[in-house]
Structure 1
Amino acid sequence: MPKIVDHDQYRKELLIKCFDLFAQKGYASITMREIAKGLGVSTGTLYHYFPSKKELFWQLVEEQTRQDNQAIATALENAETLEERIKALFAFHAQHEDYIHKQILVGVDFYQQQDREEVINNETLKQMFEESRQLMTELLGIQDRALINFSLSVLMGLLLVRLFEGDVVPIEEQAELLRKMLTLYLKPQQKQEQT
């Protein structure tokens, strides 16, 4: 009896394993042949699932974003107040900081090899950013898109600073500052809504 293969699941497994290869060698330095070797599959098998290294990368971005968003949602599912949600969000990123730093570095390496307009206009990337914004809107309970963009910028900026400076800027401190800023900003709006 032939072995039954769940092709979508197998493709996802290959993608996740590819991330480690990109993180070790860099997007620019690794070839499809080296990726296939690192995964223990033939180049034919790799090309069957991913027609190019660029397509493999975009599928990786999509898969990681969806998995990361699900993990974040799970981490925040018991947080009830804005303070608890912000603390849980920042704690999640602190716990996975090395992984996120690798994502940043791989993303920058990929970006350097591409035309800026092509990256900015990539539909996969636009969709993943939108899904992440929507998740933050739901998890933080904030409908103001500018505040969501601000919160994501603070978090991503913090992770970038920590990539280059280590723990000079404490995550907990920044989470508390963001909470205070959002609370103060939202207070007048909440009063208006109540009246």
Structure 2
Amino acid sequence: GNMADIVIGVLALQGDFAEHIATLKKCGDVKCREVRKLQDLEGTHGLVIPGGESTVILKLLRDFKLFEHVKAYGSSGIPVFGTCAGCIMLSSNIDEMPEQETLKLGDYSVKRNAYGAQVHSFESHIKGDPLIFGEEPLRAILIRAPMITNCGPNFKVLAEHEGHPVLVQQENLLACTFHPEITGDVRIHQYFVELVKKKQTAFKSS
């Protein structure tokens, strides 16, 4: 197969999915598809769950009958990239809302609005893994960002901010507490695209 066949779905129920699509389009030879129903998910090689309101998106996943499908999709080893609200949705537990059901794909807990419930956002330069991102710091915009509070042993921390992980990976899952789609820095999306391509190569050869 030609690598031009790579299709990345972006969950488009709510939130800033358009910015993710625009960023992914800068990452070379990938097609993007807005995902609102099961048919949209089928045939994709990776899925991005964007920022927005996590409780709203989780409810919409149920309303659109996508909750179990997205869960099965991630469990099957296909790469999933969750940013901000997406990071909350992939988690196994929300510290201050234990009753809120999440996708439980990632072995980590989150604390919502960990930087205070401020509406203002702040921009920070964070140190990413130099083997992946080079020496240049990553630009992070934290808007009502969650904090990853408890990571399982299989997680790699790819970037941190003030000693807290802000970008983590567990095999096919990539979770980011901030908004990488509005900084103009495409390196994290590029890394996800590479992850998707590697998985496709592995799937094809197995």
Q: TM-score, normalised by structure 2?
A: 0.25
Tell me which structure has the larger Cα radius of gyration.
Answer: 1
Structure with more of its chain in helix, by fraction: 1
Which is richer in strand?
2
Bigger RCO (CA 8 Å, 6+ sep): 1
TM-score (norm 1): 0.26
